[in-house]
Every structure is written in C-alpha cells, then in structure tokens.
C-alpha cells in the first residue's frame, strides 16, 4: 500500500472520494482472487461482531480533516451518504476517541 497526500478544492471533495472508491473497488475485485481480503459493508452483518473495534481503529487512522468529513456525513442531513447503522458506529468511535483525549489531557 502507498499513502497519498494531495490537496483538493472543497467543492470537489465528494467527487474525489467517489472516484477513488470506484478505482479501489475495481482494484479489489481484480485482486480478491489473488488472496486479498474481501471488503464488506459496515453494519447489519452477524459475521463482524467487533465492528465497534474496527470503527475505533479506522477513526484513529483518520486525519483531523477526514474525521470532520465523517462527522458531517454522520449528521441527519448527511444520512443519505452513510446508512444509519454505519453512522452510529462512527459516532460512537468519535465519542470514545474524544473521551480518551479528555482522559489523557484533563482540563484544570
């Protein structure tokens, strides 16, 4: 895996995420046969009982900007971008992360 970092105008951010997702999905489909892990949707499956833990791990890897985007997408007005079950997973991950930060840096 290679980490990429580049600037995108705010008005194009959604389109960039959609395009990157499409490319990654096509790449995943072609490499699944080679032993790559299969991707699954968040929420609603019995097979992924530790989704909360996975959401926590993903949240910690997000940059502050990515956390802000996910926060926006999990709001009532953005629910069409993310199903409610997935939104709840990441809302809870954000809250646990904020609680941990507060515990590490108590305010005097």
pTM above 0.75, yes or no: no
The predicted structure's pLDDT at residue 48: 53
The predicted structure's pLDDT at residue 106: 66
Q: How far apart are CA 16 and CA 90, in angstroms?
A: 21
Q: How far apart are CA 63 and CA 73, in angstroms?
A: 15
The predicted structure's pLDDT at residue 101: 82
**Residue 94 and residue 71 in contact, taking contact as beta carbons nearer than 8 Å:** yes
Longest CA–CA separation in the chain, Å: 55
The predicted structure's pLDDT at residue 37: 64
The predicted structure's pLDDT at residue 95: 92
Residues of the chain with pLDDT under 50: 79
| Closest to 65 measured CA to CA, from 104, 8, 3, 24 | 8
The predicted structure's pLDDT at residue 54: 83
pLDDT digits (tens, 9 = 90+) for 11-37: 888 888 888 888 888 876 655 555 666
For the record, the structure tokens of 66 come out as 């990515």
| Closest to 43 measured CA to CA, from 106, 92, 107, 99 | 92
Residue count of the chain: 108
Q: Where are the domains of the chain?
A: 1-39, 43-108
């Amino acid at each position: 895996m290679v980490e990429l970092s580049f600037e995108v105008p705010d008005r194009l951010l959604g389109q960039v995420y959609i395009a990157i997702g499409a490319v990654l999905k096509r790449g995943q489909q072609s490499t699944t046969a080679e032993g790559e892990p299969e991707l699954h949707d968040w929420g609603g499956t019995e097979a992924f009982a530790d989704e909360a833990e996975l959401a926590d791990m993903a949240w910690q890897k997000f940059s502050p900007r990515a956390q802000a985007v996910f926060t926006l997408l999990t709001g009532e007005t953005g629910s069409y971008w993310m199903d409610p079950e997935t939104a709840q997973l990441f809302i809870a991950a954000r809250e646990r992360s904020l609680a941990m930060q507060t515990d590490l840096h108590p305010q005097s």
